[in-house]
């Protein structure tokens, strides 16, 4: 007897976005040091953010130093507020978001580097 098993495939959406707030704190320096096209970033909800309850931080992983110090993530900015509203709802509902650096422009004389992300959203 032949049996077929069907898997429900998750819906997937891909979008691009620009990271906001890259000129605050030491973020420009961190972007110049660690940012690379294709680098994976982590999107972390900050529901207790005093400026925006829909805030989503963009964290870039630093590489290990000589293989001795484990990877650590550094905040390079935020998802822009209009886009964060919808993405925050998706994240709160359990959708999986994966993002990587699509491009960046960070010359030394630019106080706010431009970082764009490619975002993949998977929802069941």
Q: Residue 46 pLDDT > 70, yes or no?
A: yes
pLDDT in tens, 67-113: 555 567 899 999 999 999 999 999 999 988 999 999 999 988 888 99
Per-residue model confidence (pLDDT) at position 70: 59
**Domain ranges for the chain:** 21-123
Q: Residue 8 pLDDT > 70, yes or no?
A: no
Per-residue model confidence (pLDDT) at position 101: 94
The CATH class for the domain spanning 21-123 reads alpha beta
**Which DSSP string do the residues of the chain spell out, in sequence order?**
------PPPPEEEEEEEEEE-TTSTTHHHHHHHH--TT-EEEEEE-TT-SS-TT-EEEEEEEPPBTTTBPPEEEEEEEE-HHHHHHHHHHHHTT-EEEEEEEEEE--TT-SS-EEEEEEEEEE-
């Amino acid at each position: 007897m032949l049996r077929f098993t069907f898997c429900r495939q998750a819906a997937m959406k891909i979008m691009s976005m620009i990271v906001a707030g890259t000129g605050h704190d030491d973020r420009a320096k961190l972007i110049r040091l660690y940012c690379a096209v294709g680098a994976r970033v982590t999107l972390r909800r900050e529901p207790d953010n005093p400026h925006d309850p829909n805030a989503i931080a963009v964290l870039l992983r630093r590489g290990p130093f000589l293989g001795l110090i484990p990877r650590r993530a550094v905040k390079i900015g935020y998802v822009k507020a209009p886009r964060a509203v919808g993405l925050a709802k998706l994240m709160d509902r359990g959708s999986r978001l994966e993002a990587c650096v699509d491009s960046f422009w960070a010359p030394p004389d630019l106080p706010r580097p431009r970082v764009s992300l490619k975002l993949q959203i998977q929802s069941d």
